[in-house]
Each structure stands twice: as structure tokens, then as C-alpha cells.
């Protein structure tokens, strides 16, 4: 399967993520995106390197199974199904995502990349995914949805890391997976404290915190 095809599918999942209000659907899309990104280095022919193969399989396991499993479990325990009344509506979010993707394509052409880069979609897809993750983080109220945004943000960093995966594979990818674990761990603490203190996971209640 072509790496550009997988990268294009990754960009399409960005649009689906910002357009959905269902928490489970967002988690499923994050799973799809994580698996696609785990397959990209294999499609690039980097599977011949054992360390890169291990990193790719670890990325699929962590992004495609472990973290989504924990998020689904949290969603069941908290009994939340939809993102209600986001800061930015879903239609506007979709339009912003499209604008961000277009801008990413323009910016990528102006970057001083090494001549003859074989995968022209890699950089714009990384920029678009970073923007999508940031958009979800700032536009959604539910802490669990914001975790999805953080995952998407990390997926964009992962795509950037593929530019250096042959030169510094373990350093780049291990750092990304570590950030992922730390981010989900921190957000899990936030979700638990919001639920215990306010019996809700709506981040608007953070404004009520007092010393």
C-alpha cells in the first residue's frame, strides 16, 4: 500500500474527528488514525530495520489499542456519550480544519526540505494533523474529547518524526510515545478530579476552582 495513500487517509480522519459529536466515534477515529500512522513507516519500506519495525508495532499497539481501551473504559464509567455545546460549533470546526489543511499545503512548499523528498504529503499532513489536534483541544468542553485532541496532536508530531526516523529512530519515536503516556496520564488525573469535585467532566467547571 502506498505511503501517500495512508497519509491521505490520515488527513481525511482529521475532518471526521472535528465533525463528530459522539465520544465513542471520536475514539474510534483516533484508533483508525493511530493504526494508519503505525503502518506508514512499513509502507515506506522501513520495516527492513528491526528497530523501526519494533517502534511501528509499538505505535500501533499504543495508539490503536491501549490508550483507546483506557479512554473507552473512562467513557463508560463517566457515562458520557456526546460533546454538547462545544466552544466552536462542529460546522465551523470543519471549515477551520479545511482552512488549516489548505494552509498546511501552502506552508509545506515554503519549508527548506531536503531536495527529492519522496513523500510530498508527509509534511503538510503533519502540519494539518497538528492543527486539527490543537483545534479539538481548544474548541471542545469535555475533558475526554480534549484527550482525543491531544492524541491527534501527538500524531502530527509522529508524522514529523518520520522525516528523521532513519537517522534517530529510537530517540524520536520513544520520546513521542513517552509524551503520549504522560499526556494521557495527566488528563486522566484532570478528568478524575473534575468528576469527583463537580460530578461532571465539563471543563467549564474549572473556572469555579478557588484557592
Return the pLDDT at 198.
55
Higher pLDDT, 69 or 129: 129
The yes-or-no verdict on residue 131 having pLDDT over 90 is yes
Query: Domains in the chain: how many in total?
Result: 1
Query: 180 Cβ partners below 8 Å, 6+ apart?
Result: 62, 63, 67, 151, 154
The backbone torsions φ and ψ at residue 142, rounded to the nearest 5 degrees and listed phi first, read -70, 130
Structural domain contains residue 15: yes
Domain that holds residue 72: 1-109
Percentage of the chain beyond pLDDT 70 is 72
* Mean pLDDT of the 92-105 span: 93
The yes-or-no verdict on residue 206 having pLDDT over 60 is no
Return the pLDDT at 86.
85
**Spatial CA neighbour of 133 closest among 36, 44, 34:** 34
Q: What is the mean pLDDT of the chain?
A: 78
The yes-or-no verdict on residue 96 having pLDDT over 90 is yes
Structural domain contains residue 125: no
Structural domain contains residue 187: no
Return the pLDDT at 67.
76
Structural domain contains residue 79: yes
Out of 78-87, 98-107, 201-210, pick the least confident: 201-210
Structural domain contains residue 98: yes
Return the pLDDT at 84.
73
The yes-or-no verdict on residue 70 having pLDDT over 80 is no
| Spatial separation of the C-alpha atoms in residues 15 and 99, rounded to whole Å | 11
Out of 41-55, 147-161, 179-193, pick the least confident: 179-193
Return the pLDDT at 200.
58
What pLDDT digit, counting tens, does each position of 155-193 carry? 888 888 777 766 665 555 565 566 566 566 656 655 665
Confidence label for 144 from pLDDT (cuts 50, 70 and 90): confident
Structural domain contains residue 161: no
Q: How many CA atoms lie within 13 A of 111 on its CB side?
A: 17
Task: Specify the residue for cell string 499497539.
Answer: 61
Structural domain contains residue 200: no
Amino acid at each position: 500500500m502506498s505511503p501517500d495513500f495512508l497519509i491521505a487517509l490520515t488527513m481525511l480522519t482529521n475532518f471526521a474527528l472535528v465533525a463528530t459529536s459522539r465520544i465513542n466515534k471520536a475514539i474510534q477515529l483516533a484508533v483508525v488514525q493511530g493504526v494508519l500512522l503505525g503502518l506508514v513507516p512499513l509502507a515506506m519500506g522501513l520495516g527492513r530495520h528491526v528497530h523501526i519495525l519494533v517502534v511501528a508495532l509499538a505505535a500501533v499497539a499504543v495508539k490503536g489499542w491501549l490508550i483507546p481501551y483506557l479512554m473507552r473504559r473512562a467513557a463508560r464509567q463517566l457515562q458520557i456519550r456526546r460533546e454538547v455545546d462545544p466552544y466552536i460549533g462542529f460546522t465551523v470546526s470543519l471549515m477551520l480544519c479545511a482552512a488549516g489543511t489548505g494552509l498546511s499545503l501552502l506552508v509545506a512548499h515554503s519549508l527548506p526540505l531536503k531536495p527529492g523528498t519522496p513523500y510530498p504529503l508527509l509534511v503538510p499532513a503533519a502540519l494539518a494533523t497538528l492543527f486539527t489536534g490543537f483545534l479539538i483541544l481548544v474548541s471542545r468542553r469535555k475533558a475526554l474529547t480534549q484527550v482525543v485532541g491531544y492524541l491527534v496532536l501527538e500524531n502530527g508530531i509522529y508524522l514529523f518524526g518520520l522525516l528523521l526516523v532513519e537517522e534517530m529512530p529510537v530517540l524520536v519515536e520513544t520520546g513521542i510515545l513517552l509524551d503520549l503516556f504522560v499526556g494521557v496520564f495527566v488528563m486522566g488525573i484532570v478528568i478524575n478530579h473534575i468528576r469527583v469535585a463537580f460530578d461532571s467532566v465539563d471543563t467549564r467547571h474549572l473556572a469555579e476552582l478557588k484557592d
